[in-house]
Structure 1
Amino acid sequence: MTLFEHLREFQARLFRAVLGIIAGSIVAWIFYDQILDIVRAPFDLVVQSAEAQGKTVVLAINGVTEAFTVQLKIVMVSGLVLSLPIWLYQLWRFLAPGLKGNEKKWAYGFVAAATPLFLFGAWVAYQSMTQLLEVFLGFTPENVANIININEYLTFIIQILVFFGIGMLIPLIFVMLNFAGLLRSGTLVRNWRWLLIGCLTFAAVATPTPDPITMLLVATPFLGVVIVAVGITALNDLRRRRRDKRLGLGEWADDEVSALEEPVVDPSDLRPSPLDDDLL
């Protein structure tokens, strides 16, 4: 494809992705009240717990236009989530235009795996949102009311949900690199310590609580997804080795092939020939 054809392809993919986001946003606008109740649920639990302890925690709106801004933000983010399969598929098809016929199925597999993984990570974050809020709001001094701006609360919860969702996509990247032949399962197995440290570090950053039990509970689903990804890469490597053996490929190591391809030179061939003397 020429540069102009790439730009035209990008324009078409972007237009379809935007149409999907707009359609998802329209659906979110219709069900805005239900979505707002879901977003507020973790905070309402914190309010009930604070009232039982004699503390004041309030979710407030400041400004005339902030209510509209909040609704617009919720609708846009919900539209992005609802249209996730659409724009993710368009993105993948634009980034991988040179795949072979059988490899084009990866686009469908990528979308089919990325969507539930991202939603699962967001669900894990949502389930732990109440504990996170209790930890942060627990630093409020006595006899001090904690008035939280709803815009700041939305920004906080969106960042946490997106952070967890993207974290769940990292093992999928391992699988895609393995299918592309750029990463072997043996490499992942040999570096299992770094994978474990990475999962624990990610859980520690995602749940800034001093409780190690909570950190381990958050790290468990991430570690489980990584183990499943390593298992898939191992099965794919096994399938690839069986295919190469059936086709007669991969029977020699790289150094052995190089040795076989190097011509054997007889020392007698290095002696000057009579023709060289005549030329001189």
Structure 2
Amino acid sequence: MSDEKMSFVSHLEELRRRIIICLVAIGAGFLVTFNYSEIILRLLKRPLTTDLAFSRTYPFLRSLPRPGPPIDLIFLAPAEAFWMHMKIALFAGLLLTLPIVLYQIWKFIAPGLLSHEKRYALPFVVFSTIFFIGGLLFCFYFVLPFSLNFLLTYKTENLKPMISIGNYIDFTAKFLLGFGVVFELPLAIAISTKMGLVTPQFLSRNRKYAILISFTIAAILTPTPDVFNQTLMALPMYLLYEVGVLAARILIRKPAVASQEATEGV
């Protein structure tokens, strides 16, 4: 009982240590990126400018209505702009230190893994970072311009868009983080398959539930209640599910082929 209690206490101590390392890393990233928050803000505003106007970025959709000239962001409270620069720096600091955070997560769960499973530490960190950044880029260059173009076409002569910096950054951050997390789905499926939690057959049988869950999660993660933007997230999510199923089949097939070759060699 005493050993179990000490083991539990040690587990909590390790968790505390990993959290502190993550917080220190994110804090350092925040200090670095705060000096560049204005540059990052200009980058985040690009979907509101003609640089990413939908008719230019995607010529095959020229028939869609244009949202009009670039929109200037405003702030509605004396401290709103300051706090948004803080939030931008925190968001950028998290992205900058993402490999460190992912590595600390791995180090925390590694003691519970078998020795041959621990060699996946580097691939886990590398691919998690790549998939997350891939989700951000997909959202920024495709989904955000599409979404903003759709929403801003509802302006009329009596309704003029005046978007505050706080609302815009919150809107953008939720979309970006949502897609970053969603793009981790193939990796999560691959890891679950490798650990024996799911099989390709199970994943294939439950495609209809995957579609339902995709739209449910999209409804939770998207910052707007309209079906249009939810579909923009749900469809890629389901496609990523299919990528995960394909990865699971490959992972299952490789050990089987290796075992067959070993048997033939004997």
Quick check: TM above 0.5?
yes
Q: Which residue of the other structure, out of 117, 131, 146, is the alignment partner of 1:117? A: 131
1:175 corresponds to: 190
Is 1:12 matched with 2:17? yes
2:58 corresponds to: none
CA RMSD of aligned residues (A): 3.3
Is 1:76 matched with 2:81? no
TM-score by length of 1: 0.73
Q: Which residue of the other structure, out of 145, 148, 161, is the alignment partner of 2:176? A: 161
Q: CA deviation at 1:47?
A: 11
Question: Which amino acid counterpart does residue 250 of structure 2 have in structure 1?
Answer: L
2:167 corresponds to: 152
Secondary structure class of the residue paired with 1:181: coil
Q: Percent of pairs identical after alignment?
A: 28
Q: CA deviation at 1:66?
A: 1.6
1:139 corresponds to: 154
Question: Which amino acid counterpart does residue 3 of structure 1 have in structure 2?
Answer: F
Instruction: Pick the structure with greater CA Rg.
Output: 1
Is 1:93 matched with 2:98? no
Deviations 1:55-110 (CA, angstroms, capped at 9, x unpaired): x9541012222221111010001111111111122123213421122211223222
Tell me, which stretches of 5 or more residues in structure 2 are unaligned? 1-5, 54-65
Q: Is the 8 A contact 2:132 2:183 kept in 1?
A: yes
1:146 to 1:232, Cα distance in 2 relative to 1, 3 A? closer
Secondary structure class of the residue paired with 1:100: coil
> Does 78-87 or 93-102 show the bigger shift?
93-102
Structure 2: distance between partners of 1:222 and 1:29: 32
Q: CA deviation at 1:154?
A: 0.6
Question: Which amino acid counterpart does residue 73 of structure 1 have in structure 2?
Answer: K
Q: Where in structure 2 are the equivalents of 1:98-247 lying within 5 Å?
A: 98-127=112-141, 128-195=143-210, 215=231, 221-242=236-257
Question: Which amino acid counterpart does residue 133 of structure 1 have in structure 2?
Answer: L
Structure 2: distance between partners of 1:106 and 1:11: 23
Give the count of matched residue pairs: 243
Q: Is the 8 A contact 2:200 2:245 kept in 1?
A: yes
Q: Where in structure 2 are the equivalents of 1:26-105 lying within 5 Å?
A: 26-45=31-50, 50-51=67-68, 57-105=71-119
